């Protein structure tokens, strides 16, 4: 950490800073500059908390130099992590495809979708049984009934199932059925849930929070890895900005940035970003362009009558067109 | 809801929209315009889901007219709700003051703070026992030990205790000790936790999520009220924007807007917004100016050595000065 | 426009609204709903100003239905506009490539770059002579000397020149040399400059403002088209959000959205978005994926010694690699 | 500046960085850390450009330590600047009040407003003659006719006039009439206009750009001060965020932050922030709370029929109420 002193800091103030550094067991190194002095903190093994220093008189600001995450960092694990689920390698050379409805609505809807996906060679199916919804009056998912339908589809069509857990109680039942347990954007900093995911033996799909920085996303994954579960797939799904022409602003630059900082694979959800099926294909192709490791796409046999997010779900034929266009 | 048709929508497309409206049991009313036609949806009791319409050909956009929340709305409850805790009326004529450390660190720290607050006539004390932290390597709170210290302070100094629950398991133990259970910004859309709060007999302090709209904040409160708990205090604590001169951008305009839309009281947390104790007093006075119902402020007997958020905690003497300056 | 009345609006208040609509020469049409009444305004040729209505008692909000732009709209011109410059068709089937230094620094730098571009078959060269800089202490460009170097390069290498005008005085001299006059992001709502551009006989490259909505970008283009110049190329170059891992957040979703709303071509600047050359190639390929009509890329013979934005400029060999990777 | 090396940077890479520092005439000082090395750049008089370093291999990031502005900084001028106009001291002990219509519409409107302001003891009147408008189809102001009405009002009622210049051509005519020349939010980085303002003998009211950081605002003011005009009043008027319950998000925290960093006075425009007259009074009182040096408020004798921004203009009686409530 670097502690930058004010322009007019006195020698006494600099000395107090250095004393506090020593008092915390670190080694202070003053760096006099043209306009102001800075003090480097050396000898720390973990990130130094800037709070006590920021409060001292004469201190302008504290600048952290070391990143706060370790296990997810490419510094500590230089090759790409590849997570293999149901024969699909996420993080490998080919884009992994996950598709399915926003939520499980009925046996008919789910089986139609599963049959279609199987016919297209898609091996991973999404479908929510527990749905986090902004309003208490909206459809909240079929719950355990939905899970059991997913289990049937799984054995009948040989599809890997991706479905969301929304608290650490339903995590137990979700984990039994799911091949990948999803943690949604709203729960990216639900640390109890992240700790539960860290104890799971199933891979986790961790979606970026709606206003999370890349660093916060990596820190959330760090919670899971510190718990012992290294099988984490990250997901960019758009962030909230002033810009309202899509439901969220898809931040495709996060893909190369995450791939530089971390060894974990990262996929893209163009459906939640677009919020409108017209823009799903261009965003999916854009994701392929920036080097995403995969896509998670909403499809529905009859989007006009979907109980959730129908306007952003692709018809089967449109999704087939997307598959054809992917590189 | 208003369904706006495209400029070049055909009569056939308008008819399909009207058929779907009727099929859903509502009454369509076409409104021909100079440039385009719109169809009003009438006869609905709850908000209409726009999804099926947005997917129809010829539809430009769907505009919701009715707000999605009811119980929290001033439309349904025109007088201010006043929530009385430990003799303090939140939402009444005077600003309610809650103060205390970010987290409970030790008996000594907590008792010093409690004694000080009691001496100043402040009747509500904050202090976190379970702390949601961005990094797994940061101090996570004292947990149940912290709660038991809060319980002691409560009986010894007659202070009402405000402390956070971070999942629906620790909600049970938090609820026993707390006079007000806090739901933090990161959990504002943790719907399992909101539902648990709805069954509580204790008042809830619900903080606005870091990028939540006012409507989403009110919808989160609606989850609690629909569960049967009408004692909800809202809290503005700054939102995330491009602007980085404070930790979060305090959105004081949310205060009069919430007070217009809802009967619930709303207080302000200037400490988390500022992220720096230098700016806490001006923001607190600004909150008083816009008409906030109260303040929740971080103070610490020795902020330089706080384990959490020390740089934004006020020294006791500074807090005394703030109390003197409040109207 | 739709005027939505409050829940408790009186008949008298509705009548006042309708009277005002009639008083402004339009035709009011009341639409009674389950919870509230709305009044549609009919018979207007141009967008109706909501201000007078929003002030009336009993009015909840006014919702505009008609978009404010006309000439740039695909509603009024359904085929793509193709703008041909120096043999390059912007908006046609192939991506148009513009490349060159951030700013013209010297004859040597410019000629090296021009020679390289010519050797690669790139026909449009960027290079700033007048530079808008955040600080008055930063390099402000070579001004007219830079323009004259651009003119030399233009005739010697047969390159079309893209360079920026920053006020309506230097627009005159820029216009003489440039094949495309650029209006930068900071000037997207400099309406004097837009009006000047509207009188120009040269195509305009209009960059999206750093926090402009797509609608504002189209309105800015509308200023140019209303002045008589229909040759406008739009450019997405990243917007300002909370997210700081790149210099700006490249909003690639703007490409399909603009192409739906407008007939104008839109290209992407991955260099200013990334702010770091490491991420330029992935963003450029992402732009190709979403269907951008072209790219404007910063390159430099010696980026380490560039006077401006060197960290985001590609070396020649990296740019060659990008050209090879483009579809 | 501090140059942070990557975790795995080689000695050779560190040496290259140090050579480049020396090559630019500065003094490199290596600071070895537990995990990585950093190199401090010493001996610079002006801010060091990080670009060449960021491009070197082995470099993780460059961290600027010295702020880029000088003349506006409180470091170089520790007392508050007070700008006196028409007997009003802006930046002094009392809040300065500027009020008037968004735009000059007619003699009748302007004279009614001026008479009212004079009767209330308000000495500074705002009123736009040249209006920057998002759409070319909106009312653009009366231009020179508006200026001449402002001149009449000025001599008849003894009011100081605050009016906007939107390019450096109309700056000349605006400057003749105005007591304070306003530079609007959209022009905050119109550097040609800022340079023109730097040569003016009239005080400048500089509004914060819609997504400008505080540092950019101060850099824009620095342009004016470097030109020789030290009479600059800053103005916070709301920024653009995801939050849409007001027209812009008023960032009242900017007030104490600017007052810490700079000696220039800063006032608040609650009207443009709110976009709705209902919220103007609370925001104005909030501005008083955080310590703003003044207010600029839109009022209109008949807001329902205003040609511009009527919905955010106060009626005279509401404005009188605001004056009574200000501390």
pLDDT at A83: 97
B127-151, pLDDT tens digit by residue? 999 988 888 887 788 999 999 999 9
Please give the share of chain A, as a percent, with pLDDT higher than 90: 69
* Residue A185 in tokens: 């954007």
Question: Which pLDDT belongs to residue A32?
Answer: 65
Q: What is the pLDDT of residues B249-287, one digit of tens each?
A: 999 999 999 999 999 999 999 999 999 999 999 999 999
Average pLDDT, chain B: 91
D83-325 carries CATH number 2.30.40.10: no
| HSE-up (13 A, CA, CB side) for residue C35 | 19
Q: Taking the alpha carbons of A245, A246, A247, A252 in that order, is the dihedral positive or negative?
A: negative
pLDDT digits (tens, 9 = 90+) for B219-256: 999 999 999 999 999 999 999 999 989 999 999 999 99
CATH number of B2-63: 3.30.70.1140
- Report how far residue B256's alpha carbon sits from residue D280's, in angstroms, rounded to the nearest whole number: 10
Whether the per-residue pLDDT at A33 is higher than 70: the answer is no
Question: What percentage of chain D's residues is helix, strand, coil (to nearest 5)?
Answer: 35, 20, 40
Contact, D214 vs C134, CB < 8 A? no
Of chain C, the end-to-end C-alpha distance in Å amounts to 44
Q: Does residue C256 belong to the interface with chain B, where contact is any CB pair within 8 Å? A: no
- pLDDT score of B67: 67
CB neighbour class for D121 (10 Å; exposed up to 12, middle 13-18, buried from 19): exposed
Which carries the bigger pLDDT value, residue A59 or residue A151? A151
Is C252 in contact with A283 (Cβ distance < 8 A)? yes
Q: Of all residues in chain B, what percent are helix, strand and coil, respectively (each to 5)?
A: 35, 20, 40
ipTM reported for the complex surpasses 0.90: no
Q: Which residues of A touch C252 (CB under 8 A)?
A: 250, 252, 283, 286
pLDDT grade, residue B152 (50/70/90)?
very high
- The pLDDT assigned to C96 comes to 98
Binary contact (A167, B52; C-beta < 8 A): no
In this predicted structure, what is the pLDDT of residue A242?
A: 94
Query: Rounded to whole angstroms, how far apart are CA atoms A218 and A67?
Result: 10
What pLDDT, on a 0 to 100 scale, did the predictor assign at position B34?
57
- Pairs of residues, one from chain C and one from chain D, whose beta carbons lie less than 8 Å apart: 111
Residue C35: is its pLDDT beyond 70?
no
pLDDT band at C114 (very low <50, low <70, confident <90, very high): very high
From first to last of its 327 residues, chain D has per-residue pLDDT tens of: 778 888 788 889 999 999 988 888 888 877 766 567 778 787 666 667 787 888 788 888 787 766 678 899 988 788 999 999 999 999 999 999 999 999 999 999 999 999 999 999 999 999 999 988 888 887 788 999 999 999 999 999 999 999 999 998 899 999 999 999 999 999 999 999 999 999 999 999 999 999 999 999 999 999 999 999 999 999 999 999 999 899 999 999 999 999 999 999 999 999 999 999 999 999 999 999 999 999 999 999 998 888 888 889 999 999 999 999 998
Q: How does residue A7 score in pLDDT terms, banded at 50, 70 and 90?
A: confident
Which has the closest alpha carbon to B301: B48, B102, B88?
B102
pLDDT of D321 reads: 97
As a whole-number percent, the residues of chain C with pLDDT over 70 amount to 96
CA distance D144 to chain C (A): 15
| Predicted local confidence at residue D112, as pLDDT | 97
The closest alpha carbon to D98, from D162, D146, D177, D154, belongs to D162
Instruction: Report CA torsion sign: A296, C240, C146, C194.
Output: positive
A132 — pLDDT class (breaks 50, 70, 90): confident
DSSP string, C81-119: P-EEETTEEETSSS-EEEEE-SB---HHHHHHHHHHHHH
Q: Does B24 touch chain C (CB under 8 A)?
A: no
Q: pTM of the prediction?
A: 0.88
Q: Is residue D276 less than 8 Å (CB to CB) from chain B?
A: no
Q: Where are the beta strands (DSSP E) in chain B?
A: 2-5, 27-32, 37-42, 59-63, 83-85, 88-90, 96-100, 124-126, 160-164, 180-183, 204-207, 232-236, 266-268, 294-298
Q: What is the pLDDT of residue B134?
A: 84
Q: Is the pLDDT of residue C127 over 90?
A: yes
Residues 6+ apart with CB under 8 A from C49: none
Predicted pLDDT at A169:
83
Shortest distance between the Cα of D275 and any Cα of chain A, in A, equals: 16
- Which of A40-54, A179-193, B91-105, C218-232 is predicted with the least confidence, judged by mean pLDDT? A40-54
Q: Which subunits count as partners of chain A given 3+ CB pairs below 8 Å? A: B, C, D
Give the model's confidence band at B35: pLDDT under 50 very low, under 70 low, under 90 confident, else very high: low
10 Å CB burial of residue D5 (0-12, 13-18, 19+) is buried
Tokens 């404007």 belong to: C296
Look at C46 and D137 and tell me if their CB atoms are within 8 Å. Answer: yes
Answer yes or no: do A289 and C287 touch at CB < 8 A.
yes
CB atoms within 10 A of CB B32: 12
Query: Of residues C79 and A304, which shows the higher confidence score?
Result: C79
pLDDT at B26: 83
Which ranges in chain D are annotated with CATH 3.30.70.1140? Answer: 2-63
Any B CB within 8 A of C34 CB? yes
Average of pLDDT values for A50-68? 77
User: Which member of C46, C68, C305 has the closest CB to residue D52?
Assistant: C305
Task: Kindly report, as residue ranges, where domains of CATH 3.20.20.70 are found in chain B.
Answer: 83-325
SS3 state of residue A184: coil
Residue C153: pLDDT over 90: yes
Q: Which residue of chain A is at minimal alpha-carbon distance from D9?
A: A75
Rounded mean pLDDT, B150-178: 95
pLDDT given at position A319: 98
The pair of three-digit structure tokens given for residue D126, joined into one six-digit string: 């705002």
| pLDDT band at residue A227 using 50, 70 and 90 as cut-offs | very high
User: What does the pLDDT read at residue A23?
Assistant: 83
Q: What is the pLDDT of residue D32?
A: 65
Instruction: Give the tens place of pLDDT for each residue, B172-196.
Output: 999 999 999 999 999 999 999 999 9
Q: Is the pLDDT of residue A153 over 80?
A: yes
Contact (CB<8Å) B167/A167: yes
Q: C168 — contact with chain D (CB < 8 Å)?
A: yes
- Which pLDDT score is estimated for B90? 98
Test mutation, B135, B248, B271, chain A, max A CBs within 10 A:
B135
Choose among B51, B56, B132: nearest Cβ to A189. B132
Chain B residues 189-228 with CB within 8 Å of chain D = 211, 213-215
Among B33, B27, B24, B28, CA closest to B6: B33
D40: chain A residues, CB-CB within 8 Å: 31, 33, 38, 40
Least confident of B182-191, B204-213, C250-259, D44-53: D44-53
Q: In what order do the strands lie in the sheet with B59-63?
A: B27-32, B37-42, B2-5, B59-63
Q: Do B291 and D285 touch (CB under 8 A)?
A: yes
Yes or no, beta carbons of A226 and B277 under 8 Å apart: no
Q: Classify each residue of B85-107 as buried b or exposed e, where b means 16 or more C-beta atoms within 10 Å of its C-beta.
A: beebebbeeebbbbbbbbbbbee
Alpha helices by DSSP H, listed for chain C, are: 11-23, 51-54, 107-119, 144-157, 170-177, 191-198, 214-226, 254-261, 270-274, 280-290, 316-325
Strand partners, A249: A239
Alpha helices in A208-314 (DSSP H): 214-226, 254-261, 270-274, 280-290
């Amino acid at each position: 950490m670097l502690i930058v002193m004010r322009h007019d800091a006195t020698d006494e103030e600099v000395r107090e800073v250095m004393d506090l550094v020593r008092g915390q067991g670190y080694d202070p190194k003053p760096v006099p500059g043209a306009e102001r002095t800075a003090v480097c903190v050396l000898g720390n093994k973990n990130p130094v908390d800037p709070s006590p220093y920021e409060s001292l008189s004469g201190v302008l600001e504290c600048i952290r130099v070391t990143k706060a995450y370790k296990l997810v960092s490419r510094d500590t694990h230089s090759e790409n992590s590849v997570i293999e689920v149901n024969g699909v390698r996420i993080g490998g050379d080919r884009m992994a495809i996950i598709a399915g409805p926003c939520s499980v609505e009925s046996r008919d809807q789910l089986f139609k979708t599963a049959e279609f996906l199987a016919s297209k060679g898609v091996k991973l199916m999404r479908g929510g049984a527990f749905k986090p919804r902004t309003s208490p009056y909206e459809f909240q998912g079929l719950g355990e009934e939905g899970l059991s339908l997913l289990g049937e589809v799984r054995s009948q069509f040989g599809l890997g199932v991706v479905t969301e857990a929304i608290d650490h109680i339903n995590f137990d039942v979700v984990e039994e059925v799911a091949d990948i347990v999803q943690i949604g954007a709203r729960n990216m900093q639900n640390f109890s849930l992240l700790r539960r995911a860290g104890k799971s033996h199933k891979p986790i799909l961790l979606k970026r929070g709606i206003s999370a920085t890349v660093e916060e996303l990596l820190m959330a994954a760090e919670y899971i890895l510190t718990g012992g579960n290294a099988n984490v797939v990250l997901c960019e799904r758009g962030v909230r900005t002033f810009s309202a022409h899509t439901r969220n602003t898809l931040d495709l630059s996060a893909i190369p940035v995450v791939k530089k900082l971390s060894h974990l694979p990262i996929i893209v959800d163009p459906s939640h970003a677009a919020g409108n099926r017209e823009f799903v294909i261009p965003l999916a192709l854009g994701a392929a362009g920036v080097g995403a490791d995969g896509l998670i796409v909403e499809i529905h046999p009859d989007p006009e009558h979907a109980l959730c997010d129908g306007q952003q779900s692709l018809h089967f034929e449109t999704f087939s067109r997307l598959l054809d266009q992917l590189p």
